[in-house]
């Protein structure tokens, strides 16, 4: 568990079947810091972009990242604004993000916030890499080093399913090559505060969302209410604040995710969303039925 240093101040944690992984460390102030799947996706995308650029394949090989609506907005902004990479938002669930990564990019990176994910290399990537390698065979250059790194990278990645052990090795190798520790990795960007909750309803199927679950299509008044709540924030905060709701796939609850510049604002957005759901989806009736049985 101690992993990356001798003092045991950093390491990683895996779930029971080892298909998810997150990293953590304590900073100099003694604060616990968690590096989740969003952080892993950013690190992998950064490394791949640098190696594709050095190999001469940038612009020839399409590289992109697939996220869900639950990805922290700061990670999405870093990928789009700093790394200049395309980001596709897919419906929640590994099968959806895996399919999007497979169909949109030659090299597709996806990691859910819980640490489940991988990198997919499509046939076009191997074709382009082989051509580049043949064109520069025998060279001792940064270009050839990048080509060699890209050639061996797929052997490290489990492209079929999330694999915490191969992801651990991937992160360790990238950090080693860049000469970074976990704190330097963490400081690439800083997560926006977020808050999640759920609300019981009589019938979750009342709520219909768009394909990536970021907007409510029906009832329309619910989405209008969510938009109005965000607009009530100061203009500068509206740029990063967001709140979405989606029906659970397994139980009669509606899940709420809110994000803003401060934790208090994120909580307030979520509570406002809760009130809107109660108004439009019969959550109040559930509470009254429960009280009548007490």
Which one has a higher pLDDT value, 286 or 252? Answer: 252
Predicted pLDDT of residue 236? 64
Predicted pLDDT of residue 162? 87
Q: Smallest Cα–Cα separation from 106: which of 79, 91, 124?
A: 124
Instruction: Name the burial class of residue 143, with classes exposed (0-12), middle (13-18) and buried (19+) by CB atoms within 10 angstroms of its CB.
Output: middle
Distance CA 5, CA 176 (A): 12
Whether the predicted pLDDT of 289 surpasses 50? no
pLDDT tens digits, 236-285:
677 899 999 999 988 999 999 999 999 999 999 999 999 999 998 865 55
Whether the predicted pLDDT of 286 surpasses 90? no
Can you tell me the mean pLDDT for 22-50?
96
Can you tell me the mean pLDDT for 48-69?
97
pLDDT tens digits, 103-119:
999 999 999 999 999 99
Distance CA 76, CA 86 (A): 9
- Contact (Cβ atoms closer than 8 angstroms) between residue 10 and residue 1: no
Task: Find where tokens 């907007």 sit.
Answer: 215
Q: Is 198 helix (H, G, I), strand (E, B) or coil?
A: strand
- Record the tokens describing residue 34, joined without a space: 């968690």
Can you tell me the mean pLDDT for 151-159?
95
Residue 210: C-alpha distances to residues 5, 31, 100, 236 (Å): 45, 39, 16, 27
Can you tell me the mean pLDDT for 198-218?
94
Can you tell me the mean pLDDT for 279-293?
57
Distance CA 122, CA 81 (A): 25
Whether the predicted pLDDT of 179 surpasses 70? yes
Whether the predicted pLDDT of 291 surpasses 80? no
On average, the pLDDT of the chain sits at 91
Predicted pLDDT of residue 8? 56
Whether the predicted pLDDT of 1 surpasses 80? no
Which one has a higher pLDDT value, 183 or 137? Answer: 183
- Contact (Cβ atoms closer than 8 angstroms) between residue 252 and residue 204: yes
Whether the predicted pLDDT of 5 surpasses 70? no
Can you tell me the mean pLDDT for 161-189?
95
Dihedral angle of Cα 41, 191, 69, 206, to the nearest 10 degrees: 150
Q: Residue 292 is inside which H or E element, if any? A: helix 283-293
Distance CA 85, CA 76 (A): 10
Give pTM, 2 decimals: 0.90
69: confidence class by pLDDT, cuts 50, 70, 90: very high
Can you tell me the mean pLDDT for 33-60?
97
Predicted pLDDT of residue 4? 52
* 73-78 long-range Cβ contacts below 8 angstroms, 24+ apart: 73/192, 73/240, 73/242, 73/259, 74/189, 74/190, 74/191, 74/192, 74/240, 75/38, 75/39, 75/41, 75/42, 75/189, 75/191, 77/189, 77/240, 78/42, 78/188, 78/189
- Record the tokens describing residue 154, joined without a space: 């797929």
Distance CA 267, CA 56 (A): 46
Q: Smallest Cα–Cα separation from 166: which of 157, 174, 175?
A: 157
């Amino acid at each position: 568990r101690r992993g990356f240093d001798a003092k045991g101040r950093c390491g990683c944690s895996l779930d029971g079947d080892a298909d998810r992984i997150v990293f953590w460390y304590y900073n100099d102030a003694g604060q616990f810091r968690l590096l989740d799947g969003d952080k892993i996706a950013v690190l992998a995308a950064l490394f791949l972009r640098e190696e594709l650029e050095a190999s001469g394949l940038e612009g020839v090989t399409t590289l992109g990242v697939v996220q869900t609506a639950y990805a922290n907005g700061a990670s999405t902004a870093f990928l789009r604004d700093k790394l200049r990479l395309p980001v596709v938002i897919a419906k929640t669930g590994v099968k959806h993000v895996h399919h999007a990564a497979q169909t949109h990019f030659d090299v597709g990176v996806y990691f859910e916030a819980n640490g489940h994910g991988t990198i997919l290399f499509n046939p076009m990537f191997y074709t382009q890499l082989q051509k580049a390698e043949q064109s520069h065979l025998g060279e001792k250059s940064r270009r050839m080093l990048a080509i060699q790194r890209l050639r061996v990278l797929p052997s490290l990645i489990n492209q079929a399913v999330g694999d915490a052990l191969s992801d651990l090795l991937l992160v360790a190798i990238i950090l080693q090559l860049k000469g970074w520790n976990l704190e330097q990795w963490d400081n690439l960007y800083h997560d926006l505060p977020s808050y999640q909750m759920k609300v019981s309803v009589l019938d979750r199927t009342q709520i219909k969302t768009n394909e990536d679950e970021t907007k409510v299509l029906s009832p329309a008044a619910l989405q209008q209410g969510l938009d109005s709540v965000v607009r009530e924030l100061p203009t500068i905060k509206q740029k990063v604040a967001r709140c979405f709701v989606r029906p659970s796939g397994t139980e009669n609850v509606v899940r709420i995710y809110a994000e803003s510049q401060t934790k208090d604002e994120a909580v307030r957005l979520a509570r406002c969303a809760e009130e809107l759901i109660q108004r439009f989806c019969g959550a109040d009736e559930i509470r009254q039925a429960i009280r009548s049985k007490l």
